[in-house]
Amino acid sequence: MLDDVLKTIDDDLPSSLERLSNLLRIESISTDPAYAADVGAAAEWLATDLAGLGFDASVRPTPGHPIVVAHDRRAASGPHVLFYGHYDVQPVDPLVEWATPPFEPQLVTVDGRDRIVARGASDDKGQLMTFVEACRAWLKVAGRLPVPVSMILEGEEESGSGSLKPFLVANADELRASVALVCDTAMWSPTRPAITIMLRGMVGEEFTVIAADRDLHSGLFGGAARNPNHVVADIVAGLHDVDGRVTLDGFYDGVGEPAEAIRAIWESLRFDQSAFLGSVGLSAPAGEAGRSVLEHIWSRPTAEVNGMIGGYTGDGFKTVIPAKASAKVSFRLVGDQNPERVRESFRAYVRSWLPSDCRVEFSPHGGSPALRLPHDGAAVAAARKALRDEWGVEPALVGSGGSIPVVGMFKQALGMDSLMVGFALDDDRIHSPNEKYDVASFRGGIRSWARILASLAE
């Protein structure tokens, strides 16, 4: 049966690309109110397409752009999956840098690789259509899907997903499934797929050190008066030891090390850290001594000062000792690190540095724990097998240094883990002019999802 499905996918690829092109022609830019009707049209297009496949599909209003929900529960058994994608796209500026109009999809061949060029071709219309087309093939060949499938397709991902979490909470019973499938990530390389099994958490904290009750003249007071720029610098400088480790009390509680099986996969990736750093003009890893760059960005927690300001920062000079100085610090969390404990430890650390006649004000900015998908659980096992069969290579099990907000929302609102598989490539130029999606990504993605659905049913 799966072989027939895969053959149908290949046979129907031209019409799959035609459908993707039709969706890409809709200018569903979610950040710009001028395109609100287009965003709605994309939702309608998807709901109509899914209804045509037999899904119970609807366009559901929110305070922002609508959310498309679709269910096909005709499969008698197997784990219920909830697929997530988004049909809104980034703005197209600067328009002059586009070689072809962003909403007139083009099939072109570059270096022997076919690609479809349009805004949203990769992020996320192309990616979400891989799953829709996989369902279409299964329904055409078998008349039903291997497992019960629900979909949630939002229209606000590029503008902050403001409506999504309330919607999940309000519709939790309808939407809760065994596992979420999230298709918004990339392949490890054009020939090797990836499953993202770790997302770092984050704690943001701004602190302001206040010394004198006014700005002082650094000639008249310099030397005698406490300079909050110096205090902030001391605090920031003391945040890491000479080995690059974060000095906060208890910071590494719950961090742990990746399983041996994960480490083995990471070693097999032969990650080129010189190329990674070199791509942004750097050459020396800055993180904890004795750790690889992959560990730095996937499995180790960090403390980074994202912003720092105090005193006169305009052109020229002003010899002031400012009344206050501040910094915004973010901590990336892994494993079981507790966001609130990290925040409290940081605040205690800052207070411990504070001279007697300074005071400090704190302002919290978000806190979320790290997320992990058990690398040896059923969902990952099913996806590994399916991807290995399709691509002929063991998929990379990777971490992500940043967050994917929807994954946290699924965990918090629905108690669900997310299987993150996507087929984007690093050169897809998402959010930039001339965004593209390789036809090999599209075809391989459809075939991969067809296999994953079958594998999940086993």
CA distance 190 to 438: 9
Residues in the chain: 458
Q: Which stretch binds a second copy (CB under 8 A): 16-24, 29-37, 134-142, 275-283?
A: 275-283
Of the candidate residues 58, 171, 273, 434, the single one contacting a second copy (CB under 8 A)? 273
Instruction: Kindly state the smallest distance separating residue 145's Cβ from a second copy, in Å.
Output: 34
Among 390, 416, 364, CA closest to 81: 416
- Cα 316 to chain centroid distance, Å, stands at 41
Torsion of CA 281, 284, 289, 295, to 10 degrees: 40
- Tell me how many residues contact a second copy (CB under 8 A): 81
Cβ proximity to a second copy, 101 vs 366, nearer residue: 366
61 vs 355, beta carbon nearer a second copy: 355
Report DSSP state, residue 295: I
Q: Could you tell me which of 80, 52, 56 has the C-alpha nearest to residue 69?
A: 56
- Asked if 417 and 379 count as a contact pair (C-beta separation under 8 A), the reply is yes
C-alpha distance from residue 18 to each of 52, 104, 105, 290 (Å): 16, 12, 10, 50
Interface residue with a second copy, options 111, 283, 392, 415 (CB under 8 A): 283
Binding region for a second copy (CB under 8 A) out of 36-44, 383-391, 394-402, 433-441: 394-402
Q: Is 71 in the site for a second copy (CB under 8 A)?
A: no
Whose Cβ is closer to a second copy: residue 78's or residue 311's? 311
- Residues 401-420 binding a second copy (CB under 8 A) are 401-403
When the beta carbons of 142 and 293 are compared against a second copy, the nearer one is 293
> Smallest distance from the beta carbon of 325 to a second copy, in angstroms?
7
Single out the segment in contact with a second copy by CB under 8 A; choices: 3-11, 148-156, 395-403, 449-457: 395-403
Q: Which of residues 288-317 bind a second copy (CB under 8 A)?
A: 288, 293, 296-297, 300-302, 304-313, 316-317
Contact between 207 and 350 under an 8 Å Cβ cutoff? The reply is yes
User: Minimum distance between the CB of residue 97 and a second copy, rounded to whole angstroms?
Assistant: 17
| 95/99 Cα distance (integer angstroms) | 9
The dihedral sign for the CA sequence 118, 158, 81, 376: positive
Nearer to a second copy, 95 or 282 (CB): 282
Nearest residue (CB) to a second copy, 323 versus 457? 323
Instruction: Provide φ and ψ at 169, rounded to 5°.
Output: -65, -45
Rounded to whole angstroms, the Cα distance separating 285 from 28 reads 40
Q: Which of 73, 192, 230, 385 binds a second copy (CB under 8 A)?
A: 230
Q: Interface residues for a second copy in 16-45 (CB under 8 A)?
A: none
**Residues 198-227 interacting with a second copy (rule: CB under 8 A):** 200, 202, 204, 206, 211-214, 216-227
Structure token digits, residue 254: 């719950």
By CB under 8 A, the residues from 323 to 342 that bind a second copy are 325-328, 330, 332
- One residue of 113, 240, 388, 429 binding a second copy per CB under 8 A: 240
8 Å CB contact between 391 and 452: no
Q: How many CB atoms lie within 10 A of CB 214?
A: 7
If the CB atoms of residues 79 and 367 are measured against a second copy, the closer one turns out to be: 367
* Residue numbers 171-200 binding a second copy by CB under 8 A: 200
* H or E, element range at 72: strand 67-72
Residue 255 to residue 245: CA distance in whole angstroms:
13
- Choice from 54, 254, 287, 377 touching a second copy (CB under 8 A): 287
CA 168 to chain centre: 18
Laid out side by side, the sheet with 359-368 consists of 324-333, 201-210, 359-368
Q: Which of 41, 53, 320, 393 binds a second copy (CB under 8 A)?
A: 320
Choose which of 281, 290, 392, 415 interacts with a second copy (CB under 8 A).
281
Question: For 434, phi and psi rounded to 5 degrees?
Answer: 60, 35
Contacts of a second copy in 119-148 (CB under 8 A): none
Beta-carbon contacts of residue 285 (< 8 Å; ≥ 6 apart) = 273, 277, 291, 292, 293, 296
Judged by CB under 8 A, the chain residues 40 through 69 that form the site for a second copy are: none
Nearest distance from residue 140's CB to a second copy, in Å?
A: 39
**Nearest distance from residue 260's CB to a second copy, in Å?**
22
Cα(363)–Cα(86) distance, rounded to whole angstroms? Answer: 32
Which one of 366, 374, 427, 431 is in contact with a second copy (CB under 8 A)? 366
Structure-block tokens of residue 51: 């209804």
Q: CA 356 to CA 360: how far, in whole Å?
A: 11
Nearer to a second copy, 308 or 393 (CB): 308
